[in-house]
Amino acid sequence: MRVQARDGKILGPATTVKQPLLSVRDVRDNKMWITNARFDKDSSGTVLPTFGYGVSRNAIVIEPFTGPLVPTTPPHPPSGPYWLQPPGKGQGELIVELPLTEPALLEFTAKAYAPDEVYASATMWVLPGMELLDDPGLVLTIAGLYATATASAAGGIATVTAIVTMMCGCPITAPVSQTPPANEELYWPANEFEVTARFRKVGTQNESEPYKMSFAATNTFSLSKQLPTGLYVVSVVAVQPAETNVGFASTTVDVS
């Protein structure tokens, strides 16, 4: 068993990624065979440019860049599909052993965090004596983005900062028109993501229009907006449209 981020890597050692958990339930009699077993998260696998034996069938797709190419040779990999090679045995996986005495229709459910609990599941028949140990194993795909938000205010201007990563914790780096940080993976260019913030004054139902947040640094998007005096709820939405990945975070800011 493995848990992979949609369009990303195995949920592994990144500091933003909590350890995913597995539960196994018999669909027919509701018996719980496993509850919250821990996946190993020592490694998240390796991104490869070509398909090969044992890779995850969940492709990673880099979208074409539509902005100006400066410098001429973009630092990100060319657009197109890439493949995830799982790490070595025992890493980024969980071997499931079940003492079955008859065929069972089982539901395998992975719980991850974004930072709230999110889930992915698959249902399949499993028979006594069956061994399914070839890579990549049964891969459960966790959709979404991991997003958090903070806000502060000074002189009537609210500043919002959002931290956004793939569910595997992989970094979102500079668009191809900028120089990327040194020694960082470059498979998740910031131009694939749309991050916006809305403001709603506490005690009212009127929420502002969405304001686009600008890419500021690795995983970081920011916005500064002048607002009337008051306490505001700030809602941040991060979207990777091509992959239907969505993240949400909220905070408050007191503008005086």
pLDDT, tens digit, for every residue of 123-170?
999 999 999 999 999 999 999 999 999 999 999 999 999 999 999 999
Higher pLDDT, 86 or 79: 86
Of the pLDDT bands very low, low, confident and very high (cuts 50, 70, 90), residue 92 is very high
Query: Average pLDDT in the 16-21 region?
Result: 92
- Sign of the Cα pseudo-torsion (201, 202, 207, 211, in order): positive
For residues 235 and 250, is the Cβ–Cβ distance under 8 A?
A: yes
Tell me the three state secondary structure of residue 197. strand
CA angle 19, 17, 53 (to 5 degrees): 80
Amino acid 16: pLDDT:
86
d(CA 206, CA 225): 17
Q: What is the pTM of this model?
A: 0.90
pLDDT at 202: 96
Q: Say if residue 112 is exposed, middle or buried (CB neighbours under 10 Å; 0-12, 13-18, 19+).
A: buried
pLDDT at 194 > cutoff 90: yes
CATH code for the part of the protein at 145-255: 2.60.40.10
CB 218 within 8 A of CB 181: yes
- Per-domain residue ranges for the chain? 2-142, 145-255
pLDDT tens, position by position, 29-60? 999 999 999 999 999 999 999 999 999 999 99
Q: Which pLDDT does position 76 carry in this prediction?
A: 74
Show the beta-strand stretches assigned E in 30-113.
Answer: 32-38, 46-48, 60-62, 80-85, 104-113
Question: Model confidence over 205-245: pLDDT tens digits?
Answer: 999 999 999 999 999 999 999 999 999 999 999 999 999 99
pLDDT score for 88: 85
User: What is each CA distance from 164 to 30, 126, 151, 246, in whole angstroms?
Assistant: 37, 38, 15, 10
The token pair at 128 is 């006594």
Query: Could you tell me which residues come within 8 angstroms of residue 167 by beta carbon, excluding any fewer than 6 positions away?
Result: 5, 6, 8, 11, 17, 112, 114, 118, 142, 143, 144, 145, 146, 245
Q: What is the mean pLDDT of residues 88-113?
A: 95
Q: Can you read off the two tokens belonging to residue 170?
A: 């992989």
pLDDT of residue 73: 55
Tokens of 148: 């958090």
pLDDT by residue (tens digit) across 164-183? Answer: 999 999 999 886 666 666 77
